[in-house]
Amino acid sequence: MQADVQPLTAEQVGAHTHHAVPRAPQPYTNPYLAGFGLGLVLLASFVIMGRGLGASGAFSSLVAFGADAVAPEHTRANAFYAEYLGDHTRHPLMDWLVFEVVGVFAGGFLSGILAGRVRMGIERGPSTTNRMRLMYAFAGGGLMGIGAKFARGCTSGQAMTGGALLNVGSWAFMMCVFAGAYAVAYFVRRQWQ
């Protein structure tokens, strides 16, 4: 602060204070309003594409692409990977869900930067360590990866999309997601305490 002896223009002052005092993150949008916006995006996807949103499918394409690069014979003999590789007339990553998920990253970043919520760090409770929190995050991710594949989708592709389409499997899945999470919540509460 004291190093600044030269007179500053208004613009420089603005830039300076911006760095010295990080803008406080704005509060989150009202859940019903955010949900309404999300619902309109989902509806737009139905109307324009005839399909809903997704997330886990993009990672399956990524995995299938990676496996194909490492061991093509092995990968092509596997019916699960084959479904994400397609008929080889198109690159496996030239995929609708892959591009949609790239958009999710961009949209999340856009919203975060506008609201002053982009911040590098690890989110955890005070009584746990970073190491512990990352281990939980990794293990949870692994469980979700397997679960999403058995369910043919995740909270986006099944619960939300299929929920709006009144898909029987999606509703059964959604109930079980909540049931599974509530059943395990107690045992991992330390992360946030």
Partner 1 sequence: MKLSLARLTATQKSGLAVALLGLVAAFAGSPYRGPVYTVDAQELARVVETTVDHVTAEDVADWIIQGRTDFRLIDLRTEGEFAEYHIPGAERVPLTALAGYGLQKNETIVIYSDGGIHSAQAWFLLTTQGYKGATMLFGGLEAWKDNVLFPRPAENPTPAQSVQFAKMKEVSKFFGGTPQMDSTAAVTAPSFTMPKLETPQGGAAARGTSPVKKKKEGC
Partner 2 sequence: MNAPFFKFGLFGDNVSLIVAFLIGIGFGFFLERAGFGSARKLTAQFYLTDLTVFKVMFTAIITAMLGLFYLGWMGLVDLSLVYLTPTHLVPQIVGGFLLGAGFVVGGYCPGTACVAASTGKMDALINLLGIILGIVVFGELFPWVEGFYYATPMGQVTLPQLLNLSYGLVVFLVALMAIGAFAGATWVEKRMAARKGGQPS
**Residue numbers of the site for partner 1 (CB under 8 A)?**
30, 32, 51, 54-57, 60, 76-77, 79, 82-84, 86-89, 95, 97, 148, 152-154, 156-158
Q: Is 31 in the site for partner 2 (CB under 8 A)?
A: yes
DSSP string covering 61-74: HHHHHHHHHH-HHH
The residue type of 113 is: I
Query: Could you tell which of partner 2, partner 1, none binds residue 83, using a CB distance below 5 to 8 A set by kind?
Result: partner 1
φ/ψ of residue 38, rounded to 5: -60, -40
Query: Could you tell which of partner 2, partner 1, none binds residue 93, using a CB distance below 5 to 8 A set by kind?
Result: none
The residue type of 51 is: R
Select 56 or 124, whichever has its Cβ closest to partner 1: 56
Residues in the chain: 193
Q: Total binding residues for partner 2 by CB under 8 A?
A: 121
Residue burial 121-152, b: 16+ Cβ < 10 Å; e: rest: eeebeeebeeeebeeeeeeeeeebeeebbebe
Query: Could you tell which of partner 1, partner 2, none binds residue 13, using a CB distance below 5 to 8 A set by kind?
Result: none
Q: How far is the CB of 14 from partner 2 (least distance, A)?
A: 23
